[in-house]
Amino acid sequence: MSTLAANAPGAAGSGLADVAASEASLRRFLHGLPGVDQVGLEARAATLGTRSIKTTAKAYAIDLAISMIDLTTLEGADTVGKVRALCTKGRNPDPSDPSAPRVAAICVYPDMVATAKAALRGTDIQVASVATAFPAGRAALPVKLADTADAVADGADEIDMVIDRGAFLSGRYLDVFNEIVAVKEACRRPDGTSAHLKVIFETGELQTYDNVRRASWLAMLAGADFIKTSTGKVAVNATPPVTLLMLEAVRDFRAQTGIQVGVKPAGGIKTTKDAMKYLVMVNETLGDDWLTPHWFRFGASSLLNDLLMQRQKLTTGRYSGPDYVTVD
């Protein structure tokens, strides 16, 4: 077994320690996972999407969804001022109503981590940083590890890494596995604690549901704390069927290993109605154990505004419109 594979937290002590002993054993395991029933998966996701949430439950669900948001700015034109403004919004999403919950995290590029960390001082809002040559992931491993280590040194609480989709689609599963293990190690701080690692698959590029299931198990075996659908930078991002498949994967992984892993759909989730569908899926598939910001997140930039408008409508009986929430 390779040194990296031996150190993989998801495999060690789980009865799966030999899975990544070689390319052949890892391939055998991943291709031995049950095939995905496409029709059944899509039908189940569609059915869950029709569930209605009544007024009292909706108010609770809106606040829960707000508390699960990774409020994100990942643009080449990001400035210190924009990041500080986003942090202010994350701390106090609705200035007219201090009872509105804070978001879970602010997600920024590595060079903006120190700015976000300073702006969020005194809160429990996490600073998440995309690293490993986000969004394409096309860089040498030492560059990716340096990117990660720099973000952690600047105070990042969470690292969102992207897998090498080219390696995965070429069947070089052990390369992808070892890279995740190496990035996980780069998340370690001098005091022995670690930033949480979210592993992004870019599911819109993985071509098949079977590949999404394989990527989910591969990442969890390698030690991912979260598995994440997308970067938000391609045409197809989070979808209900893909997210449902990933929810089922973390459920089955915990049943087999005892290790709980979080899930983060990202990209394209823009409305309260969208968010409700995902929360129903989590509740129906995983139950209360995952219905917390510690285990489920939304990667979003515009979702928060719609949740706030719907929240105001439930509180006042009037739909305020976008002019009554702060601009991202």
| Orientation of helix 272-285 relative to helix 303-316, angle to 10° | 90
pLDDT per residue as tens digits for the range 87-129:
999 999 999 899 999 999 999 999 999 999 999 999 999 999 9
Window from 45-59, 140-154, 179-193 with minimum mean pLDDT:
45-59
Structure tokens at 11: 């495999």
First to last CA, the chain: 48
Window from 46-55, 130-139, 145-154, 249-258 with minimum mean pLDDT:
46-55
Return the DSSP state at 74: -
Q: What residues contact 149, with CB distance under 8 A and at least 6 apart?
A: 186
Contact 209, 245 (CB under 8 A): yes
CA distance 5 to 20: 6
Kindly list the catalytic residues: 160, 228, 264
Percent of the chain with pLDDT over 70: 92
The DSSP secondary structure of 128-194, one letter per residue, reads EEE-SSTTTT-S-HHHHHHHHHHHHHTT-SEEEEE--HHHHHTT-HHHHHHHHHHHHHHTB-TTS-B
Q: For the chain, where are the E strands, in sequence order?
A: 69-72, 105-108, 126-130, 158-162, 196-200, 226-228, 262-264, 298-300
Identify the residue with better confidence: 313 or 211: 211
Q: What residues contact 292, with CB distance under 8 A and at least 6 apart?
A: none
- Type of residue at 11: A
Please state the pTM of the whole predicted model. 0.92
The burial class, CB within 10 Å (0-12 / 13-18 / 19+), for 76 is exposed
Using CA of residue 305, residue 308, residue 310, residue 313, what is the dihedral sign?
Answer: negative
Average pLDDT over residues 276-302: 95
Contact 249, 217 (CB under 8 A): yes
What is the Rg, in whole angstroms, of the alpha carbon atoms belonging to the chain? 19
pLDDT of 57 > 60? The answer is yes
Identify the residue with better confidence: 300 or 168: 168
Q: What is the pLDDT of residue 52?
A: 78
Beta bridge partners of 126: 105
